[in-house]
Amino acid sequence: MKLLRDYIIIFGFLGIFVALLFNHVILPLYVNWNNEIRVPSLTHTDLQQAGGILKERNLEWTIKDTIFRRDIPSRFIMDQYPEAGQMVKENRKIQLTINLPPAKLEMPDLIASTERQAHIALERLGLFLVETLEDSSDLYQKTVIMGQSVAAGLPVAPGDSISLTVSLGKRNLKKIMPNLLNKGFDEAVKVLEQNGFTLGNVQYTENSELLPRTVVSQSVASGREFPRERSITVDIMITDEF
């Protein structure tokens, strides 16, 4: 029994010796080797905790950059330079990139930008793209942003939902030549203009069966289709006045 107690005492003293050796010799050699300090890993710790870790090693810190991600706590360290494990001199400033929401947010102008550019801009501000609509446009090229649910310059907050409208390109609209036959001259001119056509030459013919100034023929047959932007001139023939 006495022998067992002696072994316990011996191993106890041995354990204390190993712990002291580790704390006062091995750990300082690891942290401070050849008058240099090994950089600790600071990523995924908050700024206050990182500051304490660096102070223990006679190192300092500075903010290199800030980014914002809504799913990560504020003031968490996202990146560091130099990286963990590198050896640096005492009082070296470790550059930190932390997660920090912007002080003030304004909705950016995304009109005429590409979908990729718009996604990046929204992500940087912590805004969520919840819907992407599509529509034709004669003003904006295909695949670019032509509309946004929140106008540029209005205040927004991280987590707000945004919808965008993407252009499908030109509508490829068409116009159809109306039937002008048996219409009075004034009515025929009005119908032409309403449908995007232009009146050309006007000829006269005698016809006792129809009222004066009635259209009896047109140079472009009714029902023909044309691109809306194309200029089409239509000649007509009307009855002469008695």
Tens digits of per-residue pLDDT, 29-64? 554 445 689 999 998 899 999 999 999 999 999 989
The pLDDT confidence band at residue 156, using thresholds 50, 70 and 90, is: confident
pLDDT of 21 > 70? The answer is no
- pLDDT for 3: 56
pLDDT of 68 > 60? The answer is yes
Tokens of residue 211, six digits: 């009222």
Distance in angstroms (rounded) separating the CA atoms of residues 240 and 138: 43
- pLDDT for 22: 55
Distance in angstroms (rounded) separating the CA atoms of residues 217 and 183: 10
Domains 2-99 and 174-239 alike in fold = yes
Distance in angstroms (rounded) separating the CA atoms of residues 193 and 197: 5
Residue 68's nearest CA partner among 108, 101, 30, 21 is: 101
Distance in angstroms (rounded) separating the CA atoms of residues 191 and 208: 25
Tell me which architecture the domain covering 2-99 has in CATH: 2-Layer Sandwich (3.30)
Identity of residue 236: I
Contacts of 165 (CB under 8 A, 6+ apart): 132, 133, 134, 135, 145, 146, 147, 148
- pLDDT for 100: 82
Indicate the DSSP class of residue 87: E
CA distance to 68, 120, 150, 153, 165, per residue, from 160 (Å): 14, 15, 10, 15, 17
* CATH code of the domain made up of 115-167: 3.30.10.20
54 close to 40: Cβ distance less than 8 angstroms: yes
The pLDDT confidence band at residue 66, using thresholds 50, 70 and 90, is: confident
Domain residue spans of the chain = 2-99, 115-167, 174-239
Contacts of 110 (CB under 8 A, 6+ apart): 117, 118, 121, 122, 145, 148, 152, 164
* CATH code of the domain made up of 174-239: 3.30.10.20
The pLDDT confidence band at residue 14, using thresholds 50, 70 and 90, is: low
Listed range (80-89, 167-176, 229-238) with the worst mean pLDDT: 167-176
- pLDDT for 184: 93
Distance in angstroms (rounded) separating the CA atoms of residues 94 and 72: 21
The pLDDT confidence band at residue 12, using thresholds 50, 70 and 90, is: low
pTM of the model: 0.37
Q: What is the pLDDT of residues 116-140, one digit of tens each?
A: 999 999 998 888 999 999 988 878 8
